[in-house]
Amino acid sequence: MALSVNLLKMKTSISLLGVLLLFFSACNLAKPTTVDLMTDNIATAVGQQNLQTELIEKSGKFINPRTLDKEGNIVYIPLTDWTSGFFPGSLWYTYQLTKDEKWIPLATKYTLSLDSVKNIKTSHDLGFMIGCSYLTGFRLIGNPQFKDVIIQTAKSLATRFRPNAGVIQSWDVDKDWMSTRGWKCPVIIDNMMNLELLFEATKMSGDSSFYKIAVSHANKTLENQFRNNNSCYHVIDYDPLTGNVRSKQTAQGFADESSWARGQAWALYGFTVCYRYTHDVKYLEQAEKVYTFIFSNKNLPKDLIPYWDFNAPDIPNAPRDASSAAVIASALYELNTYLPNKKYNLTADKIMQSLSSPDYKAEIGENGNFILKHSVGSIPHNAEIDVPLNYADYYFLEALSRKQILMSNDKLTMATSTKK
């Protein structure tokens, strides 16, 4: 009798256990797969950067990888290319993420190979080229040689300031395809990304003229580059003599009135940075308005990786742009430090989860040793469609570094501190 009661009890417990197991596995199935953002991604970054640097070191040249061509070959670019700062910058972030000092000489070498960029006066992209390489490195190792290059670059960039219009001219109008558009002083939203270098140059040199140029450019952009729905135009053409706006157009978006995804990303990031240096709340408000435009947009996919343009005609079949997503995630980690109650970091985490999934992140040894797949350079120029891009990787690693810092509650290091 006692034996059969015990058997009955055992059977009941076993079936209860079975039900519980079924319940928990059903819960697990329902949950989206999440990766450990730090460990997995750092491993991928190290794996890919090891392979990429080995390849470059073997070549014996300072070659700088940007993307893959249609045949799957790595495209290397000269130091005058607007993306030349991203590969050295990614090496700096790999050092920051791993704390492995083996990355310092490599990152330093590729950074110093850009030295002559400091004298370029025919490009506005100096913030990308020197900011992402020298400034990122300076924050980590405080090399005084880097500081001189940053200040000299700010001087070169300042030559593009058009005082009557109050803006830095983005593109020269007598070159390549830009000469066909009839512009006088085109300013693209991307130009907001150059202002960090100017703010830093004032901090480093004490020369306030760089700061004033940055503020003037940000104010004019605020005044002229946004629509009522808080999305931004790609290109505003100014009359450099009167300062009047001549036209509002696009170059890399689908249409003049469409919202090019990376443009929105540059705006969000750029105004967040302007708040960092000025504490002027209008910049913070603009960053939040751009956030609202992006994240309330009916065309933003559920995984939060935008189509290349929010108004692309072939949505949902339009190519995604992982580079925009990475820039947005990085900006949101910083925005979160100014507005912690808004929890922008949670949106950034979701983006990073998507980017870290096999849908967007490459296996080590694939994808030309780039980390992310599926970015878009410029569809109107039929260039770099659905490819890896060095700036997608750079902002992905920056976002990861920012998350790492946020996790250790060290807000200031991420947002404001620069070794003097």
Total residues in contact with ligand GLY, by rule CB under 6 A = 4
Please state, in angstroms and rounded to a whole number, the distance separating the CA atoms of residues 167 and 185. 9
Q: Which of residues 80-119 bind ligand GLY (CB under 6 A)?
A: 82
Measured from the CB atom, the residue of 191 and 337 that comes closer to ligand GLY is 191
Q: What is the DSSP string of 84-99?
A: TTHHHHHHHHHHHHH-
Q: Which of residues 44-83 bind ligand GLY (CB under 6 A)?
A: 82
CB of 97 to ligand GLY, least distance (A): 24
Closest CA to 129 of 77, 181, 93, 171: 77
Angstrom distance (rounded) from CA 362 to CA 68? 13
207 has catalytic annotation? no
Q: Which of 81, 190, 321, 349 is catalytic?
A: 190
The yes or no reply on residue 393 touching ligand GLY (CB under 6 A) is no
Q: Does 334 bind ligand GLY (CB under 6 A)?
A: no
CB closer to ligand GLY out of 250 and 354: 250
Q: Is 190 among the residues known to form the active site?
A: yes
Give the nearest distance from C-beta 77 to ligand GLY in angstroms: 13
Q: Within a 10 A sphere around the Cβ of 74, how many other Cβ atoms?
A: 17
Query: Which residue has its beta carbon closest to ligand GLY?
Result: 190
Q: Is 194 in the site for ligand GLY (CB under 6 A)?
A: no
Asked if 190 interacts with ligand GLY (CB under 6 A), we say yes
- Min. distance of Cβ 324 from ligand GLY in angstroms? 9
Least distance in angstroms from the C-beta of 387 to ligand GLY? 12
* Exposed e or buried b per residue across 354-374, where buried means at least 16 C-beta atoms within 10 angstroms of its C-beta: bbbeeebbbeeeebbbbbbbb
DSSP letter at 122 equals: S
Identify the active-site residue in 125, 309, 321, 393. 125
Question: Which of 96, 64, 95, 97 shows the shortest CA–CA distance to 81?
Answer: 64
Shortest spacing between CB 43 and ligand GLY, in angstroms: 29
Tell me whether residue 324 or residue 404 sits nearer to ligand GLY (CB atom): 324
Site for ligand GLY in 354-373 (CB under 6 A): none
Is residue 287 within 8 Å of residue 276, measured between CB atoms?
no
User: Can residue 160 be called a binding residue for ligand GLY (CB under 6 A)?
Assistant: no
Distance CA 385, CA 376 (A): 5
Pairing mode, if any, of strands 185-188 and 245-249?
unpaired
Tell me if 262 contacts ligand GLY by CB under 6 A.
yes
Residue 359 to residue 60: CA distance in whole angstroms: 34
Rounded to a whole number of angstroms, the minimum distance from the CB of residue 394 to ligand GLY is: 12
Quote the least distance from Cβ 147 to ligand GLY, whole Å. Answer: 25
Measured from the CB atom, the residue of 107 and 267 that comes closer to ligand GLY is 267
Q: What angle do CA 139, 143, 145 make, to 5 degrees?
A: 125
Q: Is 252 in the site for ligand GLY (CB under 6 A)?
A: yes
3-state helix, strand, coil in the chain (%, to 5): 55, 10, 30
Output 62 or 82, the one with its CB closest to ligand GLY: 82
Under 8 Å between Cβ of 249 and 237:
yes
The C-alpha atoms of residue 381 and residue 64 are separated, in whole angstroms, by: 22
- The catalytic site residues sit at 125, 190
Contact footprint for ligand GLY (CB under 6 A): 82, 190, 252, 262
